[in-house]
A and B are shown apart, each in its own frame.
Chain A
Amino acid sequence: MYSRKLSIHRGGTAHGARLARSVSKLVPLLIILSLLLAACGSGDAPAASDDAEPAAEEAAPAAEESSSSEAVTITGPVLTDPPAGAGEREVQSEVFNTPADAGGIDSYQDAPMLAEMVASGDLPPVEERLPINPIVIKPEEAVGKYGGALRKTVSGQRSMGEMGWWVIEPLTLHSPKGVIVPNVAEGWSWNDDHTQLTLNLRMGIKWSDGEPFTANDVLFWWEDIILNEELTPSPPTLLSRGGERAELAMIDDFTVQFTFAKPYALFPTYLGSWGGPRSGPTTSPKHYLTQFHPDYAENADIEGMMSEGSFDNWMDLFGQKNASINTDKPTLAAWVPTTVPPNQVEVYVRNPYFWKVDTAGNQLPYIDEIHEIRVADAEAALLKVIAGELDFVRGLGTANIPVLSENRESGNFRFAYANWMPNAYGNIMFNYTTEDEAKHQLYNDKNFRHALSVAINRDEIIKLIYKGGVFASQIAPLRGPPYHGEDELFQSWTQHDPDLANQILDDIGLTERDDDGFRLGPTGEELLLIISATTAWPSETPELMELVKGYWGEVGINATVTPEAGPLWGTRHYNGEHDVSARGGHFGGGPVHPTLNSNTFAMRGWQWAPDWASWLDTDGEQGAEPPEDVKRLRVLRDQILGEPDEDTRNALMREVFEIHMDNIWSIGLVVDDPKFGQLTHVNNRLRNVVTWSISGEWTPTIPAQWFINE
């Protein structure tokens, strides 16, 4: 009874849509005709806008009523008001875990293209495709309309642009407001000491090929990928706790349980965090991947596929089949890839089984297709932006902001930004394990680092190199709560005070000077700091260091700058071949929990003192023993991972940052203002985009709710 009513509706709408479409095709034709016929075109213009208005009026009630099968018939724009500019509106989007939480949903609708497939019997009806409790998204601005293609860019060398993030639907997710909320997991619970996490999966979610998603898929990821030593020789660090690997058990078809050796209260956050174990559990369709896994498939079959694709070993074959760009691999994401890169344009189409709906019961996403257009040259991409040929582009570069602002109206676009962890530019690192005795002693003396830091005139650097968009600061975490990167703490030793610098340098015994007025080392030998500046990130690092060299010269410290290409810099740096070195850096914050950042916690790959980090990692077998404060960072990290109370966790984080700001292991120059550094270009035809995102990757803001307002 219920479904019959729906199908009648659908038939009616499809017909209406076709009619409306042909009318909308006629409208421009009519306008052109009338323009040609009439001597003066201005008289006809109001007639054209009269035609458009009813469509907009129709749309408005559709947005309010929950029965929005009429939404399909919208031919004009849903929204007529101009979109809000960057940061002008608080985030409005909300994520409801179940339809009940959203106040109940009467019926579900789907996109016209899917409705047609249902009508012809190629696809089950939308109610059968959705899980028992689909996630309900309260759209940012209004219930949108279906259709259109989102035009984005992908650079010449990457297989996926932002889609690389968008194709992942993790177990938990950062909500648009920055809180961890359920996603593929409908809920979770801890045991008392936070060593055992029970995750309840959302029942009835289906892969994009229609197969059900169950705990078997999560277990396959764990047992056959993570625990397979050939596929994963060294398991991800974050799946271990207290030096022991976690255990995963399947309780029933929709329940899995992680067990850790020590409390790990932060784990649900990691499941949804960039850099955390967020992709594997929900991107490993067992029914598909077992064909390529020797524990399940016949060896002869695998070998056949290997020789066909010229693979050397089964792991490579499996890796390729398990890649998110594989067009055959089922996914849980809103859009499914249909092209194998590199192509001129990479096309993603809607997943008919996507398991999120809007508050009116429309299955998301609204947008039919994503087109990632391959533009190798940054200038060409900029030109396309100015011409209004792209809908959503991140990271066009701070240098281009004036050009973009100038063309904002002609290109019909607006800006949005992401409140991302700030990029610290030109942070200066010292080789704490250098074999030069005198330097070893100096670099390990925090007073020496303090003196060098206050010798730098950061305000002048900002004026000369950046022309705004950055703040003078040591490396800092996210601004605002809960880490407060704007706090005075991160201004420690950033004042320009050459007198203080001179005094400290005198106090630590660098009083002898050479003929040129440069200070001699502690034992009277020449002291020359060799700064290796990367040219890769940021590219202005050598210029920054030339200025720094000048400021240090003013307090009698002799330095020289050698620019090095990115990969060369990296190789030499991690081999401990640099004396002093400079590159960008982060402290984390926001969707990237600071505990995931190796700089903050002296973890493996610590940019500032790799040798100290490796000593801690190997219990003293390799590297060099770090000072007590560094060891303390690791102890604090361990406490933070296990601490369930957020306030306590933030207090511990505060202590971590205080240790850093006392030691200044790396001298920071400036951090960028996310309003500029993460400036994003959004075409005005694209709506429901939040005016600012908590994350530079924009996934938390749910691109599935975006729609083309035309």
Chain B
Amino acid sequence: MLSFILRRILLMVPTLFVVSVISFVIIEAPPGDFMDAYVDQLLQQQEAIDPAEIDSLRLRYGLDAPSYVRYFRWLGNILQGDLGRSLEWNQPVAKLITARLPWSLAISVASFLFAYALAIPIGLYSATRQYSIGDYVFTLIGFIGLATPNFLLALLILWYYFVATGNVAVGLFSEEFLVAPWSFARVIDLLKHLWLPAVVVGTAGTAGLIRVMRANLLDELERPYVMVARSKGLSEGKLLIKYPFRIAMNPVASTIGWTLPTLVNGELLASLVLGLPTIAPLFVGALLSQDMFLAGSVVMILSSLTLVGTLFSDIVLAWLDPRIRGAI
């Protein structure tokens, strides 16, 4: 078991290296560099530009060096634990990301709670009352949830919420708490605003989970042991929760491992629309402005989390099924 885990961890090293090369190439692929994007942005804002200043900045940021030199400079820093400085925000990347990580996690956790809290009972209902009207309604809602991009959902909810209440649900705090220090009232205010992103981000996940839960439970319900339990007179509710439900939860639980990266970046487009202080808008901005260090770091962190999540799932599986341990 230990050697299996070790082997898997060693395999992660070359994978991460390949990921770093690919992400660097992709981020560098568009023509121009950060300064070009910067100048373009200034021009659009109708600001005057002194080309002398641009040249000196390009020189200072080392953007004139060939790309492989810049790649190894970047990689070297990362190996020393230094993510570099964001060109756009003129701050250490590590500081930018850690400042926003709690918000990303809060929203992701809230949306997961929302998704699981909703999906599991609905899945249970749909499976036990297969092809009932309720099942069809939930299936329809589920598919709509799966098919609607969540930024669109965010815009729609924003608009209808505004029409209904006259408030704009952008951001995580109302006006009076925006700059206030932390207090109990501010936490309450946060909770009042957190539900919207949680619902928006969680909807797609909910729909998927309902389907998984329903299918697994339907499989289990046809097993002979269920019939035996019924024939022995076990009450339907007790039977359901105690046996098939627990087994049906297994696949649902094993997907948690893959969700590590989505915890950090799952709410990307919805965050942009809802103006949330998460990592996602920072990442999108960095990609647009070709802020190599920031964008590259976020990609590296996401890739690492994917690998760790996969490793975690593999370990759980290997622990459950000894045959897998020898396979890799």
Task: Mark A residues whose CB is within 8 Å of B.
Answer: 151, 156-159, 232-238, 274-275, 309-313, 315-316, 319-320, 323, 325, 340-345, 347, 369, 371, 373-377, 379-380, 383-384, 386-387, 389, 420, 423, 536-537, 565-568, 570-572, 586, 592, 596-597, 604-605, 696
* A320 to B91 Cα, complex, angstroms: 8
A residues near B67, Cβ cutoff 8 Å = none
Interchain CB contact under 8 A, B52 and A234: yes
B residues near A592, Cβ cutoff 8 Å = 48
B residues near A232, Cβ cutoff 8 Å = 56
Select one of B41, B84, B158, B172 contacting A380, CB under 8 A.
B158
Interchain CB contact under 8 A, A570 and B40: yes
When A and B form their complex, which 8 residue pairs have the shortest distance between CB atoms, in order from nearest?
Answer: A275-B48, A234-B52, A157-B285, A233-B56, A567-B32, A344-B277, A571-B32, A571-B31
A residues near B48, Cβ cutoff 8 Å = 274-275, 592, 596-597
Interchain CB contact under 8 A, A605 and B49: yes
Interchain CB contact under 8 A, A237 and B275: no
Interchain CB contact under 8 A, A320 and B90: yes
- B156-189 vs A, Cβ < 8 Å mask (1 yes, 0 no): 0011001000111011110100110000000000
A residues near B166, Cβ cutoff 8 Å = 387
Q: Cβ of B231 < 8 Å from any Cβ of A? A: no
A-B CB contact pairs (8 Å), 6 listed: A275-B47, A320-B91, A380-B275, A570-B39, A571-B31, A592-B48
Interchain CB contact under 8 A, A157 and B46: no
Interchain CB contact under 8 A, B168 and A387: yes
* A559 to B202 Cα, complex, angstroms: 49
B residues near A235, Cβ cutoff 8 Å = 52
* A75 to B50 Cα, complex, angstroms: 48
Q: Cβ of B314 < 8 Å from any Cβ of A? A: no
Q: Given known contacts A376-B281, A571-B31, is B155 in contact with A371 (CB within 8 Å)?
A: no
Interchain CB contact under 8 A, B30 and A567: yes
Interchain CB contact under 8 A, A233 and B281: no
* A314 to B300 Cα, complex, angstroms: 28
Q: Which residue of A lies closest to B167 (CB)?
A: A387
Interchain CB contact under 8 A, B31 and A568: yes
Min distance, Cβ B294 to any Cβ of chain A, angstroms: 11
Q: Given known contacts A567-B32, A571-B32, is B60 in contact with A315 (CB within 8 Å)?
A: yes
Q: Which residue of A lies closest to B31 (CB)?
A: A571
* A383 to B160 Cα, complex, angstroms: 11
Q: Which residue of A lies closest to B54 (CB)?
A: A605
Min distance, Cβ B286 to any Cβ of chain A, angstroms: 9
Interchain CB contact under 8 A, B158 and A233: no
Q: Cβ of B288 < 8 Å from any Cβ of A? A: yes
Min distance, Cβ B300 to any Cβ of chain A, angstroms: 16
Interchain CB contact under 8 A, A423 and B85: no
A residues near B175, Cβ cutoff 8 Å = 151, 389
* A151 to B168 Cα, complex, angstroms: 14
Q: Given known contacts A377-B272, A380-B170, A568-B30, is B55 in contact with A234 (CB within 8 Å)?
A: yes
Interface centre among B46, B96, B274 (most CB of A within 10 A): B46
Q: Given known contacts A376-B272, A380-B158, is B168 in contact with A345 (CB within 8 Å)?
A: no
Interchain CB contact under 8 A, B273 and A537: no
Q: Cβ of B135 < 8 Å from any Cβ of A? A: no
Interchain CB contact under 8 A, A383 and B168: yes
* A151 to B52 Cα, complex, angstroms: 35
Select one of B50, B55, B92, B158 contacting A310, CB under 8 A.
B92
* A592 to B285 Cα, complex, angstroms: 29
B residues near A345, Cβ cutoff 8 Å = 178-179
Interchain CB contact under 8 A, B162 and A604: no
- Beyond the given pairs A387-B168, A570-B36, 8 more chain A to chain B contacts, judged by CB atoms under 8 angstroms and listed by A's residue number, are A156-B272, A158-B41, A325-B90, A342-B96, A380-B273, A380-B274, A571-B36, A592-B48
Interchain CB contact under 8 A, A347 and B56: no
Q: Which residue of A lies closest to B170 (CB)?
A: A380
Min distance, Cβ A420 to any Cβ of chain B, angstroms: 8
Q: Which residue of B lies closest to A235 (CB)?
A: B52
Min distance, Cβ B81 to any Cβ of chain A, angstroms: 10
Interchain CB contact under 8 A, A159 and B89: yes
Q: Cβ of B51 < 8 Å from any Cβ of A? A: yes
B residues near A312, Cβ cutoff 8 Å = 62, 85
* A536 to B289 Cα, complex, angstroms: 13
A residues near B153, Cβ cutoff 8 Å = none
B residues near A309, Cβ cutoff 8 Å = 85, 92
Q: Given known contacts A374-B275, A605-B51, is B82 in contact with A310 (CB within 8 Å)?
A: yes
Interchain CB contact under 8 A, B285 and A156: yes
B residues near A586, Cβ cutoff 8 Å = 46
B residues near A565, Cβ cutoff 8 Å = 30
Q: Cβ of B28 < 8 Å from any Cβ of A? A: no
* A151 to B41 Cα, complex, angstroms: 24
Q: Which residue of B lies closest to A234 (CB)?
A: B52
Q: Given known contacts A310-B84, A311-B85, is B92 in contact with A537 (CB within 8 Å)?
A: no
- B132-163 vs A, Cβ < 8 Å mask (1 yes, 0 no): 00000000000000000000000100110010
Q: Cβ of B235 < 8 Å from any Cβ of A? A: no
Q: Given known contacts A344-B172, A567-B30, is B281 in contact with A156 (CB within 8 Å)?
A: yes
Q: Cβ of B44 < 8 Å from any Cβ of A? A: yes
List CB contacts (< 8 Å) of B203-225 with chain A: none
Interchain CB contact under 8 A, B178 and A344: yes
Q: Given known contacts A377-B275, A380-B158, is B36 in contact with A316 (CB within 8 Å)?
A: no
Q: Given known contacts A157-B285, A570-B40, is B168 in contact with A389 (CB within 8 Å)?
A: yes
B residues near A236, Cβ cutoff 8 Å = 50, 52-53
- B12-54 vs A, Cβ < 8 Å mask (1 yes, 0 no): 0000000000000000001110001101110110111111110
Q: Cβ of B282 < 8 Å from any Cβ of A? A: yes
Interface centre among A313, A319, A342 (most CB of B within 10 A): A342
* A380 to B178 Cα, complex, angstroms: 17
- B89-107 vs A, Cβ < 8 Å mask (1 yes, 0 no): 1111010100000000000
* A316 to B60 Cα, complex, angstroms: 8
A residues near B117, Cβ cutoff 8 Å = none
Interchain CB contact under 8 A, A570 and B90: no
Interchain CB contact under 8 A, A344 and B50: no
Q: Which residue of A lies closest to B81 (CB)?
A: A310
B residues near A340, Cβ cutoff 8 Å = 91
Min distance, Cβ A702 to any Cβ of chain B, angstroms: 21
Min distance, Cβ A327 to any Cβ of chain B, angstroms: 12
A residues near B290, Cβ cutoff 8 Å = 567
Q: Given known contacts A233-B55, A236-B53, A373-B171, is B90 in contact with A342 (CB within 8 Å)?
A: no
Min distance, Cβ B36 to any Cβ of chain A, angstroms: 5
Q: Given known contacts A236-B53, A570-B36, is B168 in contact with A342 (CB within 8 Å)?
A: no
Interchain CB contact under 8 A, A373 and B285: no
* A236 to B57 Cα, complex, angstroms: 12
* A561 to B117 Cα, complex, angstroms: 53
Q: Cβ of B324 < 8 Å from any Cβ of A? A: no
A residues near B91, Cβ cutoff 8 Å = 320, 340
Q: Given known contacts A275-B47, A604-B51, is B56 in contact with A342 (CB within 8 Å)?
A: no
B residues near A374, Cβ cutoff 8 Å = 275, 277
Interface centre among A159, A310, A313, A315 (most CB of B within 10 A): A310
